[in-house]
């Protein structure tokens, strides 16, 4: 199999590339990345040493994709920050996440290659989520039982309303999903959409606005300034990247079973943490540190937990706990503390 991974020097893309090359040495893996993400360049050497081909290229330009040889494309390139839409990088966000995806779809269509798209839970509008009723405990929000479509006792299903504003980031991804549906229906593309919440694990160059588990662990390890936005009761479920990889491995080897479907894919309720709970785990596993609070940040969600029921019917459930994920990240940073200092400090 010849797999092209766009954004292949990023956290998810490089983790996928390494997994496929290790598990299936005969596969030809190519990663394309424009090295936009700080730290992504650190992945080039390890990937090349494994026999993976690196191409410096940009999904915004079709010419960078059109001559590549592949029979499966995994689109993992993005400006993945929900805050990016607020700043001058707005056009970059749209050009990469939306127009870049269209270029990937066209290149895949040309090669008759299926596409796996890594979408986001941010396609669900903020007002839909923040206006639900919550039980507020000392440490976290939990959704109160209700009859709202897409809300179950386990979290949010694919049936959650898409009606409302969701951030520019979320909109670029939803628009991309809609275009994929059109490419499937009109042009015969085969594609699978995985909507993930928070993905984490060793190898993530996390920052305040993206990769919060790594950001938190790194701030403890390097004793950096850190602040809890709002009351710290905001909850997210955490998906270890290895669990996501296990799913994508299953999907690419059984494309027809999954093609045309959209899945919510996340750590689930058992692997959900509020910021306060995350902070407590850092105190338990890393060191003691006093963390002040700050006013709530714009675009923040009170809660996002994935109901994995649909994908569970296809034989996948997350296996790695949120606590194990934090320990994995903390060990990676501690083991590479000096090499990673310039990224995190
Ligand atoms: N990490 C998460 O928590 C999370 C959650 C949901 C969805 N996602 C999605 O997963 C995918 C991968 O995210 P990630 O966490 O690995 O982010 P990342 O920033 O680590 O990786 C994205 C990669 O894309 C590259 N890139 C950016 N613009 C590009 C362009 N124009 N052309 C080519 N390459 C470009 C970056 O250099 C980077 O290496 C993204 O589509 C993101 O939206 C991530």
Q: CA-CA distance, 109 to 63, in Å (whole number)?
A: 15
Q: Please indicate whether residue 193, judged by its CB atom, sits closer than 6 Å to ligand 1.
A: no
Residue 299 has pLDDT above 80, yes or no: no
Are 306 and 220 contained in the same domain? yes
Q: What pLDDT is stored for residue 296 in this prediction? A: 82
Mutate to test the pocket of ligand 1, among 37, 174, 240 (most ligand atoms within 8 A of CB): 37
Give me ligand 1 centre to Cα 144, in Å: 33
99 to 50, 116, 121: CA distances (angstroms): 31, 16, 20
The gap from C-alpha 42 to its chain's centroid, in whole angstroms, comes to 19
Q: Please indicate whether residue 196, judged by its CB atom, sits closer than 6 Å to ligand 1.
A: yes
Are 64 and 140 contained in the same domain? no
Q: Is residue 21 part of a domain?
A: yes
Q: Is residue 255 part of a domain?
A: no
pTM above 0.95, yes or no: yes
Q: Please indicate whether residue 93, judged by its CB atom, sits closer than 6 Å to ligand 1.
A: no
- Residue-number span of the structural domain to which 321 is assigned: 125-162+202-238+267-345
- Ligand 1 atom nearest residue 13's Cα: 16
pLDDT digits (tens, 9 = 90+) for 127-136: 999 999 999 9
Q: Is residue 248 part of a domain?
A: no
Which alpha helices (DSSP H) does the chain contain, by range? 11-23, 44-49, 63-66, 90-94, 101-111, 126-130, 168-187, 212-221, 241-252, 255-258, 275-285, 309-312, 322-335, 337-344
- Ligand 1 atom nearest residue 35's Cα: 37
Are 327 and 281 contained in the same domain? yes
Q: Please indicate whether residue 76, judged by its CB atom, sits closer than 6 Å to ligand 1.
A: yes
Tokens of 187: 């042009």
Q: Is residue 324 part of a domain?
A: yes
CB 201 within 8 A of CB 15: yes
Give me ligand 1 centre to Cα 40, in Å: 10
Q: What pLDDT is stored for residue 297 in this prediction? A: 79
Residue 45 has pLDDT above 90, yes or no: yes
Residue 278 has pLDDT above 90, yes or no: yes
The gap from C-alpha 83 to its chain's centroid, in whole angstroms, comes to 15
Q: What pLDDT is stored for residue 84 in this prediction? A: 87
Give the number of C-alpha atoms closer than 13 A to the C-alpha of residue 327, restricted to the C-beta side.
Answer: 7
């Amino acid at each position: 199999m010849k797999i092209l991974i766009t954004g292949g020097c990023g956290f998810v893309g490089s983790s996928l590339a390494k997994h496929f090359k290790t598990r299936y040495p005969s596969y030809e893996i190519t990663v394309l990345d424009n090295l936009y993400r700080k730290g992504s360049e650190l992945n080039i050497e390890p990937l090349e040493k494994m026999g993976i081909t690196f191409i410096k290229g940009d999904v915004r330009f079709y010419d960078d994709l059109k001559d590549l040889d592949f029979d499966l494309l995994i689109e993992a390139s993005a400006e993945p920050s929900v805050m990016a839409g607020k700043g001058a990088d707005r056009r970059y966000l749209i050009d990469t996440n939306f127009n870049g995806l269209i270029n990937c779809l066209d290149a895949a269509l040309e090669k008759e290659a299926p596409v796996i798209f890594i979408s986001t839970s941010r396609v669900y509008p903020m007002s839909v989520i923040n206006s639900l009723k919550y039980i507020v405990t000392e440490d976290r929000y939990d959704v109160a039982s209700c009859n709202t479509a897409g809300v179950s006792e386990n979290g949010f299903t694919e049936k959650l309303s898409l009606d409302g504003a969701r951030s520019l980031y979320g909109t670029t991804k939803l628009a991309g999903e809609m275009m994929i549906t059109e490419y499937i229906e009109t042009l015969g593309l085969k594609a699978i959409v995985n909507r993930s919440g928070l993905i984490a694990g060793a190898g993530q160059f996390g920052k305040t606005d993206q990769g919060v588990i790594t950001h938190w662990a790194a701030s403890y390890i390097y004793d950096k300034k850190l602040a809890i936005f709002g009351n710290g009761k905001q909850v997210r479920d955490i998906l270890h990247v290895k669990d996501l990889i296990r799913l994508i491995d299953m999907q690419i080897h059984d494309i027809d079973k999954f093609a045309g479907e959209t899945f919510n894919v996340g750590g689930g309720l058992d692997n959900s943490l509020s910021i306060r709970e995350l902070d407590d785990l850092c105190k338990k596993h890393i060191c003691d540190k006093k963390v002040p609070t700050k006013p709530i940040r714009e675009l923040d969600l009170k809660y996002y937990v994935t109901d994995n029921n649909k994908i569970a019917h296809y034989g996948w459930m997350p296996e790695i706990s949120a606590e194990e994920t934090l320990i994995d990240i903390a060990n990676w940073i501690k083991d590479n503390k000096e090499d990673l200092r310039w990224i995190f400090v």
